[in-house]
């Protein structure tokens, strides 16, 4: 079979991307495209790519950086942790891990629970004015992770909206194709974002607190520290990775639950545990559709030879619905047998925030179910895809 004439960018306007990815997979789990990209849609192949010692991330960052003028946006791409390879990657990841400890994540749970409760109280108090319907994305699912990552990093809560706007403006840079207007806005936003973060770093260096940024400023392993460009890129990455995908996980997942009222009821009455349900959110509503890699040598994935220098898109969303590992893969079935979802990737770049994201999603889902056992969707949501990130535009619901 020759290369497939398919544009992965077309998924952004595809009403049913999962059906399209299943169609791509039906011709093989690892396939070349006419554009020179390779796409991986099978579970076994995705695991092989993500743990292969001759598969690189840095060339992906280099391509993104090369499209940008010198400045903050380019620095951010060049130093972004998920685009680093050894020896930089283990050094930077090791330093972040000393600051971003499981203890720090565990300790934040009561704060997350309290924040979720306060936000739901606020919505309830305004329900009359909101005409009985509320956008749970804007009013809740965005607020919780953005407050949590601000609190963890030690970003003043009043600066949150500004930083969210910067990070949203920078995010199109992670697309294969960037609209020229978005590019100009992203470059400008990255300058402002880094200027803000540099001032915050200076402040923490003079007056260290009990926050993650202070810990990152002093993190040291084997006499190594993070350079200023690394620290700025990492903080910007943590800020954006810390809220967008978690928001999308919860809203995409709630949209799937509310599509069929019986599903929502099963979580409310405990037939489906919150943990299993969030696991199924991750598997079926994967917020990061794909990750990108480049082969450094001739490789073989799931029996298919891929030449050196090939850009490879690993579709986590498709691997999660591979019928070779999940029976009835499109069914929403919390507690099902089978491997853990690959939504946080796998191997050296496995998501550093996975435990935090699961914790936040579980607290948010449990809080909503407890507060509104008869919650209903008020409209069928529309979806967007920006770069690899897929989510609903808003989640209009009727709390009851
Ligand atoms: C549902 C929520 C989340 C999803 C689906 C998600 C997904 C991912 C994925 C797929 C990767 C791998 C990227 C690659 O291999 O190229 C990744 C890496 C990463 N994530 Fe997350 N993430 C989530 C939440 C978070 C949170 C809450 C944080 C931090 C507070 C975070 C921080 C990071 C960082 C720093 C990396 C880079 C790790 C490395 O390259 O070594 N993520 N995430």
Quick check: is 2 in a domain?
Answer: no
Structurally, the chain folds into a number of domains equal to 1
Whose alpha carbon is nearest atom 21 of ligand 1? 351
Instruction: Supply the pLDDT for residue 17.
Output: 97
Whose alpha carbon is nearest atom 43 of ligand 1? 351
Quick check: is 206 in a domain?
Answer: yes
The CB of 356 under 6 Å from ligand 1? The reply is: yes
* Averaged pLDDT, 195-217: 93
Ligand 1 atom closest to the CA of 145, numbered from 1: 27
pTM of the model: 0.96
Distance 221 CA to ligand 1 centre (A): 22
* Averaged pLDDT, 243-255: 96
Distance 376 CA to ligand 1 centre (A): 31
The CB of 343 under 6 Å from ligand 1? The reply is: yes
The CB of 345 under 6 Å from ligand 1? The reply is: yes
225 SS3 class:
coil
**341 DSSP 8-state letter:** P
E strand or H helix that includes residue 243: helix 228-258
The CB of 392 under 6 Å from ligand 1? The reply is: no
pLDDT digits (tens, 9 = 90+) for 341-357: 999 999 999 999 999 99
Distance 130 CA to ligand 1 centre (A): 34
The CB of 245 under 6 Å from ligand 1? The reply is: yes
* Averaged pLDDT, 108-125: 97
* Averaged pLDDT, 253-281: 98
- Given a cut of 80, whether residue 224 has pLDDT beyond it is no
Distance 360 CA to ligand 1 centre (A): 14
pLDDT digits (tens, 9 = 90+) for 284-302: 999 999 999 999 999 999 9
Q: Which residues contact 376 (CB under 8 A, 6 or more apart)?
A: 258, 261, 397, 398, 400
- Given a cut of 90, whether residue 337 has pLDDT beyond it is yes
Whose alpha carbon is nearest atom 41 of ligand 1? 349
Of the listed ranges 36-40, 95-99, 176-180, 364-368, the one predicted with least confidence? 176-180
* Averaged pLDDT, 55-66: 94
Instruction: Supply the pLDDT for residue 172.
Output: 85
The CB of 387 under 6 Å from ligand 1? The reply is: no
**Residue 186 — pLDDT band, cuts 50, 70, 90?**
very high
Distance 300 CA to ligand 1 centre (A): 26
**Residue 204 — pLDDT band, cuts 50, 70, 90?**
very high
| Pairwise CA distance, residues 262 & 333, whole Å | 12
Quick check: is 373 in a domain?
Answer: yes
The pick from 56, 79, 147, 351 for probing ligand 1's pocket by mutation, whose C-beta has the most ligand atoms within 8 angstroms, reads: 351
The pick from 89, 241, 250 for probing ligand 1's pocket by mutation, whose C-beta has the most ligand atoms within 8 angstroms, reads: 241
pLDDT digits (tens, 9 = 90+) for 74-106: 999 999 999 999 999 999 999 998 878 888 889
At 158, which CATH number?
1.10.630.10
Instruction: Supply the pLDDT for residue 109.
Output: 95
Quick check: is 71 in a domain?
Answer: yes
Length of the chain: 400
| Pairwise CA distance, residues 1 & 243, whole Å | 41
Quick check: is 1 in a domain?
Answer: no
The CB of 312 under 6 Å from ligand 1? The reply is: no
Distance 353 CA to ligand 1 centre (A): 6
Distance 84 CA to ligand 1 centre (A): 14
Instruction: Give the angle 269-270-271 at the CA atoms, nearest 5°.
Output: 100
| Pairwise CA distance, residues 229 & 152, whole Å | 20
* Averaged pLDDT, 142-148: 95
- Given a cut of 90, whether residue 279 has pLDDT beyond it is yes
Report in angstroms the alpha-carbon separations of 293 from 29, 57, 334: 16, 5, 31
**394 DSSP 8-state letter:** -
Distance 161 CA to ligand 1 centre (A): 21
**How crowded is the C-beta side of 90, counted as CA atoms within 13 Å?**
4
Quick check: is 3 in a domain?
Answer: no
The CB of 149 under 6 Å from ligand 1? The reply is: yes
The CB of 391 under 6 Å from ligand 1? The reply is: no
Of the listed ranges 143-147, 216-220, 305-309, the one predicted with least confidence? 216-220
| Residue 179 lies in domain | 8-398
Quick check: is 163 in a domain?
Answer: yes
E strand or H helix that includes residue 362: helix 354-371
| Pairwise CA distance, residues 137 & 247, whole Å | 7
Instruction: Supply the pLDDT for residue 110.
Output: 96
Of the listed ranges 130-139, 223-232, 323-332, 379-388, the one predicted with least confidence? 223-232
Q: Return the sign of the alpha-carbon dihedral for residues 348, 67, 166, 396.
A: negative
Instruction: Supply the pLDDT for residue 297.
Output: 98
Q: Cβ distance 204 to 154 under 8 Å?
A: yes
Distance 354 CA to ligand 1 centre (A): 7
**Averaged pLDDT of the chain:** 94
- Given a cut of 80, whether residue 335 has pLDDT beyond it is yes
Whose alpha carbon is nearest atom 7 of ligand 1? 344
Instruction: Supply the pLDDT for residue 251.
Output: 98
Instruction: Supply the pLDDT for residue 270.
Output: 98
Quick check: is 172 in a domain?
Answer: yes
């Amino acid at each position: 079979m020759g290369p497939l004439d398919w544009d992965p960018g077309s998924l952004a306007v595809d009403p049913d991307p999962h059906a399209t990815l299943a169609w791509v997979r039906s011709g093989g789990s690892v396939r070349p495209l006419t554009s020179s990209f390779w796409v991986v849609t099978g579970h076994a192949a995705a695991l092989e790519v993500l743990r292969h010692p001759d598969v690189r991330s840095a060339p992906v960052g280099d391509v993104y950086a090369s499209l940008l003028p010198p400045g903050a946006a380019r620095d951010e791409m060049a130093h972004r942790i998920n685009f680093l390879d050894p020896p930089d990657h283990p050094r930077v990841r090791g330093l972040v891990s000393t600051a971003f400890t499981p203890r720090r994540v565990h300790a934040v749970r009561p704060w997350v629970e309290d924040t979720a409760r306060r936000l739901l109280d606020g919505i309830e108090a305004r329900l009359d004015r909101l005409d009985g319907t509320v956008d749970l994305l804007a009013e809740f699912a965005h607020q919780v992770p953005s407050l949590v990552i601000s609190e963890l990093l030690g970003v003043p809560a009043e600066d949150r909206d500004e930083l969210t706007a910067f990070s949203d403006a920078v995010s199109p840079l992670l697309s294969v194709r960037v609209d020229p207007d978005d590019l100009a806005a992203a470059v400008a936003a990255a300058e402002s974002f880094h200027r803000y973060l540099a001032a915050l770093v200076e402040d923490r260096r003079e007056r260290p607190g009990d926050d993650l940024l202070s810990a990152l400023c002093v993190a040291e392993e084997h006499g190594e520290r993070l350079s200023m460009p690394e620290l700025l890129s990492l903080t910007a990455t943590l800020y954006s990775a810390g809220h967008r995908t978690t928001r999308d996980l919860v809203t995409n997942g709630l949209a799937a639950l509310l599509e069929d009222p019986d599903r929502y009821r099963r979580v409310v009455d405990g037939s489906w545990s919150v943990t299993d349900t969030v696991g199924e959110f991750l598997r079926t509503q994967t917020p990061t559709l794909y990750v990108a890699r480049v082969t450094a040598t001739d490789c073989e994935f799931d029996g298919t030879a891929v030449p050196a220098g090939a850009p490879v898109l690993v579709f986590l969303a498709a691997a999660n619905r591979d019928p070779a590992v999940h029976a009835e893969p499109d069914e929403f079935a919390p507690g099902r047998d089978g491997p853990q979802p690959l939504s946080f990737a796998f191997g050296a770049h496995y998501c550093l925030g996975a435990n935090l994201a699961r914790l936040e999603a579980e607290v948010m889902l449990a809080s909503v179910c407890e507060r509104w056992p008869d919650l209903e969707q008020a409209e069928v949501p529309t979806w967007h895809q920006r770069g690899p990130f897929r989510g609903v535009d808003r989640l209009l619901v009727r709390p009851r």
